[in-house]
A = this chain, B = another copy of it.
Amino acid sequence: MEDEKKFEKLEPIRVKALDDILGVPFKVLDDGFVRVVDYLGSDESIVQAARVSYGKGTKQISQDRGLIRYLLRHRHTTPFEMCEIKLHIRIPMDAWRQWIRHRTANVNEYSTRYSLAIESAQTTNPDQWRMQSSDNKQGSSGFFDLEQGQKMSDDEKFLHEKAREIYDNRVAQGVAREQARKDLPLSTYTEAYWKIDLHNLLHFLELRMEKNAQLEIREYANVIGREIVKRWAPIAWEAFEEYALKSKEFSGFELELLSLLANSKGDEAKIKAGEFGWLKYKEEKLTFNMERWEFENKMKDLKIEIPW
Contacts and interface: CB of A to CB of B under 8 A. Distances in A.
Contacts of A197: 106, 195
A69 interface: yes
Contacts of A271: none
Given A38-B45, A186-B181, A249-B248, A22 B11 contact: yes
Interface in A179-231: 179, 181-189, 191-193, 195, 197, 214-215
Contacts of A241: 252
Interface string A128-143: 0111110001111100
Which 3 pairs across A and B sit closest by C-beta, in order of nearness? A246-B252, A10-B23, A55-B115
A173 B90 CA distance: 30
16 contacts: A1-B118, A11-B22, A52-B108, A52-B109, A56-B115, A82-B106, A84-B84, A94-B182, A97-B100, A129-B179, A130-B176, A140-B179, A182-B186, A242-B253, A247-B254, A262-B304
A26 B262 CA distance: 43
A130 to B, nearest CB: 5
Given A114-B57, A184-B186, A177 B131 contact: no
Contact of A130 (B78, B93, B179): B179
A302 B152 CA distance: 53
Please state the number of chain copies in the assembly: 4
B25 A10 contact: no
A114 B61 CA distance: 12
A3 B53 contact: no
Interface string A49-89: 11011111100100000100110010000110110101010
Contact of A23 (B9, B56, B79, B261): B9
B108 A79 contact: yes
Contacts of A183: 121, 156, 159-160, 163, 185-187
**A interface, by DSSP: helix, strand, loop or mixed?**
mixed
Interface of A: 1-3, 7-14, 19, 21-25, 35, 37-41, 45, 48-50, 52-57, 60, 66, 69-70, 73, 78-79, 81-82, 84, 86, 88, 90, 92-94, 97, 100-101, 103-104, 106-111, 113-116, 118, 120-122, 124, 129-133, 137-141, 144, 148, 152, 155-156, 159-160, 162-163, 166, 169-170, 173-179, 181-189, 191-193, 195, 197, 214-215, 241-243, 245-255, 258-259, 261-263, 290-291, 294, 301-304
A245 B7 CA distance: 32
A249 B243 CA distance: 9
